Structures are given as C-alpha cells and as structure tokens.
Amino acid sequence: MHGSARRATARCLRHCYMLALAGSSSAASPLPPSQAPLMRAVLSLLPAGAPVSRMQLRSLMGVYAPDLCGCTYKEVGGSFNGAVRELLVAGASGDGDELYVPEPAPTWADPRPVPPAHTEEFEVAGALAWVSNDAERVDALVDECGFASAPFVGLDVEWTPSFVRGQAERPALLQLATRQRCVLVRINQMAARGAWPPRLRALLGADAPLKVGRGVGLDARRLEALGLDVGAVDELPGRLGLKQLAKEEAGLALPGAGRGFMTNWDVHGPLDHRSLAYAAFDAVAAAAVYGKVGGRGATTADARKAAQAQRERAREKRRRFAR
C-alpha cells in the first residue's frame, strides 16, 4: 500500500474508532468542568499524607483536564482556593501554602468502560508504526514485524508525568522497534482488560532479542512491576539525550515539535499524532543508534535484580546510620 493510501486508511480507521467511542457512554467526559471534582480525581492518584504545593496541583489538573473534563484547565470553572480548602489539609503553619493530601486520600474511579479494541497505523522517521490496545493484533504485529528474529529491538516506556513525591509512575505505553518497524502498545488499557498478549510477554521475557534504549534498565523495572518479565537489556552509550544521540549517530530527527513530558498517556481516547510520533521515535531511534554504535554491555534480569538488591541494602544501611 502506498503512503497516501495508507494515510487515508488510517484516517478512516481513526474516524470509525471515534464513532465507536461516541456510541458508548465513554464518549462523555466523566467530570464537569469544575475545580473541586477535578481536584478530587487528581488527589485520588496521590499517596495519603503527601505534601503537595498549589503549583503541583495546578500542573496535574492541567494534564488531566482535557481527558476528564473535556476542556483545557483554563476553561475549568469554580474556585481553586475553595477546592483546596474543601479537599486538602493545611499544615501547622496555617499560612495556606503548606498543604497535604488527607488521610485517607480522596477516592475517585473513572466510570467509563475500557475503550474498544483499536489499532492505528502511521509512519515516523522512515519506519512503519502501529499503536494498538488489541491483544490479538499486538501478538500478530510482533510476528509480522519479525521482532523475535531480530538481534535487538529498541524499547521505551511512557507514563503520565508525576509531580508529587511518592506519586506512582504508572506505565501507560510500551514501544518496541527495529529500524523499519515499530509497535506501540497501550498497556494501561490492556491491563484494564486483565490479559497480556502471550507472544509479547514471551518476547519481553526472552534474552534475545536484546532490548536496547536510553534508561532501558529503569523501563524494564517499571514493566516488571506490572508483572511483565524483561530479559537482557543494554543501555546506549554516552550521556547525550536520545534525540541528540539519534541526530549525531544515526542522522535521525523527530519531525515537528515533539511532545512528551506533559502528555497524558493515560487518556481514554486515541493519542494525538504528535504524541504518537514522539513515542515511536524514541524506540526507532534507540534501534538505529544501537545498530551504529552498540551499547555499554548487556545485563540479564538476574544481574539487574542483584544490583537492585545491593542498592536497596546500601540505602537501608545509610538510613540506619542516619538515625
């Protein structure tokens, strides 16, 4: 299929997906555009008793407002200060700037059902890419892309930003790629369905292909926290950020203005095209750079766990001495 026909098909499929969402109760935003309900939803993501500043709260509410309220944060009505007085605990100073999440923390559950199965095709940096929340389609793509027979694949994980100490970093998107093919897996929506694609699970857990990337060891730990084993990984060399490394070593650049840091990767509906390009580029670039310059040396899952245990023992020793 030529590029123009492929893009037309992708537009048609996205339109059909949006119609499917519109035909269900998931279409409506679950919250009114009001400060207190939005703040309650955000606080439900934070640990009880955690200190939180007004700036942190506004940042989090800005990230989640489009998905939960159907508008930008600037369009959310009501009194921010009134919501603070209603929902947070003031510190001992009483000056209104020292705030804490109450104990127990407010609770809120998204009433929308899990979105329907959806797979979308697009292109980035000369690679063909797919994003999917469909377990069967993901497993088929793992085979079609030939990941199992590749010597290495780029791996990256995206999660919605956290601004408060102790706030869980919940992986939402997994990216796997060779230089020519990339699959983005909406693992947050798959986790909600309670089933992981078996071929994807086997691919991640095997030592071959090697999983490569920038910060790939940390990404592996995040996946393992979800119950997904990750085999041998190799960190890209040097200290340059991935996008600068990709430009210098592989001649790759992210087209347009990328966005990632303030993206809500947990959004209920489809991710926008700029976010998809940003995410796919990281995995494709990791594979491209590794093909040019290699890495620092592979580490197995057992070696990573042993190193993590050693770090935890060292932290505990420092805590004992600090008492």
Nearest to 101 by CA among 159, 169, 161, 41: 41
Q: Please, what is the Cα angle at 215 between 138 and 243, to 5 degrees?
A: 85
- CA 280 from centroid of its chain's CA atoms: 12
Long-range Cβ pairs for the range 294-297 (8 Å, 24+): 294/234, 294/237, 295/212, 295/234, 295/235, 295/236, 295/237, 296/234, 296/235, 296/236, 296/237, 297/234
Q: Is 304 helix (H, G, I), strand (E, B) or coil?
A: helix
CA-based nearest residue to 258, from 237, 248, 272: 272
pLDDT in single tens digits along all 323 residues of the chain: 555 555 554 555 454 444 445 444 445 899 999 999 999 999 999 999 999 999 999 999 999 999 999 999 999 999 999 999 999 998 866 666 789 999 999 999 999 998 999 999 999 999 999 999 999 999 999 999 999 999 999 999 999 888 888 887 889 999 999 999 999 999 999 887 777 999 999 999 999 999 999 999 999 999 999 999 999 999 999 999 999 999 999 999 987 755 566 899 999 999 999 999 999 999 999 999 999 999 999 999 888 888 878 777 887 777 777 76
pLDDT given at position 171:
93
For residue 266, give the DSSP letter. Answer: T
Helix (H) and strand (E) counts for the chain? 11, 9
Q: What is the pLDDT of residue 97?
A: 75
Rounded CA separation 261/243 (Å): 14
Q: What's the pLDDT score for residue 3?
A: 57
Quote the pLDDT of residue 323.
65
Residue 12: the pLDDT is 52
- Of 268, 276, 263, nearest to 67 by C-alpha is 268
Q: Would you state the pLDDT for residue 71?
A: 97
User: Do strands 99-100 and 171-177 pair parallel, antiparallel, or not at all (unpaired)?
Assistant: unpaired
* pTM of this structure: 0.87
Which of 55, 53, 54, 61 is CA-nearest to residue 36?
Answer: 61
Q: Are 220 and 202 in contact (CB under 8 A)?
A: no
Amino acid 233 reads V
Per-residue DSSP letter, 148: G
Q: Given this model, what pLDDT does residue 7 score? A: 55
